[in-house]
Amino acid sequence: MWEKLLEIVLFVRTGQHRTLAQILKAFIGGKVDQARISGQDMATLRRLFRFFRSVYAQSGVKASRLATDQPHFYTMVTSVHALKLMEQYGQPVLRKKLFQMSKLIDGKIMAPKGKKKAFDEYMALSSKQTTHPGRRNARQELFAEILEAS
């Protein structure tokens, strides 16, 4: 749990994806990353997790792989933050899109028209070497592309 939260805090702070080794190094030895969470970072994290609480309140989302599988969860959180998806869609629309994404990842619905290849690539990137920064960036881009079509 703490490892997941630390990853998200460091991403919110820097906007950079990191490997687990880089996260550990930053936490133990990096002066910049050892600083206390700023008021602005804390406000951002509270806003994000307040929104995710409302997403999880939807039937089935809390038990979905989007919510419980680390690569999907991390991609969802970092995408919403980095790509400013709440501002782009508004919270009610984004909530619906994330609900659809949870059903898609769980195999309950088909990929949106024209997005099967992107979805298959996203799922492949979510299955191995999931903490590699390049793969995280690629997953984030594909996540946003699929979400747009939902």
As a whole number, the mean pLDDT across the chain is: 88
- On the question of pLDDT at 35 being above 90, the answer is no
- On the question of pLDDT at 21 being above 80, the answer is no
Spatial neighbors of 111 by CB under 8 A, at least 6 apart, are: 104, 118, 119, 120, 146
Cα(77)–Cα(69) distance, rounded to whole angstroms?
12
Cα(8)–Cα(108) distance, rounded to whole angstroms?
28
- Residue 36 φ then ψ, to 5°: -60, 155
- On the question of pLDDT at 135 being above 80, the answer is yes
Q: Indicate the pTM of the whole model.
A: 0.86
pLDDT band, residue 142 (cuts 50/70/90): very high
Nearest Cα neighbor of 23 from 42, 6, 37, 36 is: 6
pLDDT band, residue 34 (cuts 50/70/90): low
The answer to whether 147 and 93 are in contact (CB under 8 A) is: no
